[in-house]
């Protein structure tokens, strides 16, 4: 993180000992290390959230692409089905009406007149 060598640490410790004093130096070191730990934890949390958001965006884009592919496939299948129906029965509307009339249940039809 910081490119601090052993000699720099010794100089910082000596200056800290002279400025803070030997009685309060251990407490100051504990407080400083706690602050450094909180800052590191904060940066790690932010990095994790950014990583998760990027992953969520990638998943969302993948879902949108898959949805578009499915819609295109459904349109293609519908078109092929209509072409097949037209090829088999060019008078689609007439045959559909005839099959609907013949498929009605007998109970819904009127009884024959005597």
Tens of pLDDT, residue by residue over 60-112, are 899 999 999 999 999 999 999 998 888 887 665 555 555 555 555 555 455 55
- Token representation of residue 93: 């509307």
- CB < 8 Å & 24+ apart, contacts of 68-72: none
Write down the H helix ranges in the chain.
6-20, 25-88, 92-102
Does the reported pTM lie above 0.75? no
């Amino acid at each position: 993180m910081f490119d601090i060598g052993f000699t720099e640490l010794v100089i910082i410790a000596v200056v800290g000992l002279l400025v803070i004093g030997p009685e309060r130096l251990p407490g100051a070191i504990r407080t400083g290390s706690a602050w450094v730990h909180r800052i590191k934890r904060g940066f790690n949390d932010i990095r994790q959230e950014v990583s998760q958001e990027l992953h969520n965006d990638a998943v969302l884009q993948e879902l949108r692409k898959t949805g578009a592919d499915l819609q295109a496939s459904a349109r293609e299948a519908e078109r092929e089905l209509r072409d097949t129906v037209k090829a088999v029965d060019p008078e689609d509307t007439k045959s559909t009406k005839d099959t609907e009339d013949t498929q009605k249940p007998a109970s819904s039809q009127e009884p024959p007149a005597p």
